[in-house]
């Protein structure tokens, strides 16, 4: 069954991890990215890894926890990915701002020992264009798309988004009507 509820928890707040796990959410996402200020990134990473190694096993199903790491173009991404490489199985590592299959390859290179999947957050028009290639890796378990209204408002004219979505239809995805 597909998860219905996703609960993000700032990883610099370990006091909230157990409460989030007991909340009834289908998936708890320990967030190392947007919810954590730069000065607390390393501490947040340590909190998440410590909890996943100690408190989570036996109390939280591995398929109910993801960790959203920092984007690959940040100074924290490689440390995030290396730290998660040998933790117990996660549902997935959630990778933000994925724009290409090369991003997937780079993330998986750092996650060599991990058995978890990779949930790719597509947050740009470039990522939408490359969605098929991004999804082609067998370790990619999910593609999460940004709202198209957000893409249109922030990164591309609406006409460009429609053109991208029209070309995406070659993969068999439905694009709806074009008005």
| Mean local confidence (pLDDT), 162-166 | 40
pLDDT value at residue 89: 65
Indicate the pLDDT class of residue 152, thresholds 50, 70 and 90. low
Between 42 and 151, residue with greater pLDDT: 42
In angstroms, how far is the first alpha carbon of the chain from the final one? 34
What is the share, in percent, of the chain residues with pLDDT greater than 70? 77
pLDDT value at residue 160: 44
CA angle in degrees (0–180, nearest 5) for 65-114-20? 10
Query: What are the sequence ranges of the domains in the chain?
Result: 6-148
Q: Answer yes or no: is pLDDT of 140 > 70.
A: yes
pTM (global) more than 0.85:
no
Q: What is the pLDDT of residues 88-117, one digit of tens each?
A: 768 899 999 999 999 999 999 998 766 788
Number of residues assigned to the chain: 179
Q: Answer yes or no: is pLDDT of 177 > 90.
A: no
pLDDT value at residue 87: 85
Structure tokens at 76: 């924290």
Question: Sheet of 65-68: strands edge to edge?
Answer: 6-10, 27-31, 65-68, 92-95, 117-122, 140-145
Average pLDDT, rounded, for the chain:
82
Instruction: Identify the CATH number of the domain defined by range 6-148.
Output: 3.20.20.60
DSSP single-letter state for residue 136: T
pLDDT value at residue 151: 53
DSSP single-letter state for residue 87: S
Q: What is the pLDDT of residues 15-69, one digit of tens each?
A: 999 899 989 999 999 999 999 999 999 999 999 999 998 876 667 776 789 999 9
pLDDT value at residue 55: 74
Q: Answer yes or no: is pLDDT of 154 > 90.
A: no
Between 157 and 61, residue with greater pLDDT: 61
Distance CA 167, CA 1 (A): 30
């Amino acid at each position: 069954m597909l998860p219905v509820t996703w609960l993000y928890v700032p990883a610099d707040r370990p006091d909230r991890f157990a409460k989030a796990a007991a909340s009834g959410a289908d998936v708890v996402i320990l967030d190392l990215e947007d919810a954590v200020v730069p000065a607390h990134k390393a501490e947040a990473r340590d909190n998440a890894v410590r909890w996943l190694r100690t408190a989570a096993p036996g109390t939280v199903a591995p398929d109910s926890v993801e960790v959203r790491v920092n984007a690959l173009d940040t100074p924290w991404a490689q440390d995030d990915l290396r730290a998660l490489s040998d933790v117990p199985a996660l549902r997935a590592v959630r990778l933000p701002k994925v724009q290409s299959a090369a991003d997937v390859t780079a993330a998986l290179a750092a996650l060599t020992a991990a058995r978890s999947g990779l949930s790719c957050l597509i947050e740009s028009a470039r990522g939408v264009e490359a969605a098929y290639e991004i999804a082609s890796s067998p370790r990619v378990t999910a593609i999460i798309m940004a709202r198209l209204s957000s893409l249109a408002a922030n990164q591309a004219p609406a006409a460009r988004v429609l053109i991208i979505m029209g070309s995406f239809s070659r993969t068999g995805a439905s694009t709806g009507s074009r008005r």
